[in-house]
Amino acid sequence: VVFVENQINNNKVGSSNDNGEQTPDNRLVDGSARSKSRYITKKVNLENPATRLDVYLTMSNPSPSSIEVFARTLPDETDSSIFFSSRGYTKMTASTTANTAEGEYQEAKYTLTVDDKDKFSTFAIKIVFNSSIESVVPTIKSLRMLIFH
């Protein structure tokens, strides 16, 4: 017999509960306050600077679970080896929501748009999984990212 426990909690980012997901390294946040379940992509370097990033997730998001998506960007012309890890994350805007029954998948879109003066040439994505019930968890089947110049 193998027992499995989902490592997930319900510490969402918000005005009353900023659990550190928007800071560069949320390990500095009290362990009981930060999200237990996260996925962070590798750093992506672009040939041409971008002003918009769309993230598409095919996900199962049964109630009461939720998914939040964040982006860490580095402005063009900045030394990425020095400054990238010290930059914070920005919460991306959900254009669509995917509230599904467990095991059913639906696509959801998250967007980050910046002004021309803030064009970025490097980015990483952080996906945070939340649920108040450890046996009901969100899952992702696919991740796509589109960058607009």
Residue range 51-66, pLDDT digits in tens: 999 999 999 989 888 8
Q: β-strand 120-130 against 44-50: which pairing, if any?
A: antiparallel
CA 62 – CA 48 distance, rounded (Å):
38
Q: 114-142: string of b/e by CB count within 10 Å (b at 16+)?
A: beeeebbbbbbbbbbbbbeeeeebbbbee
| pTM beyond 0.85 | no
CB 120 within 8 A of CB 71: no
In this predicted structure, what is the pLDDT of residue 33? 61
In degrees and rounded to multiples of 5, residue 81 shows phi and psi of: -70, -25
Reported as a pLDDT band with limits 50, 70 and 90, residue 16 is very low
Residue 139 clears pLDDT 60, i.e. is over it = yes
Per-residue tokens: 78: 């900045």
Mean of pLDDT over the chain: 81
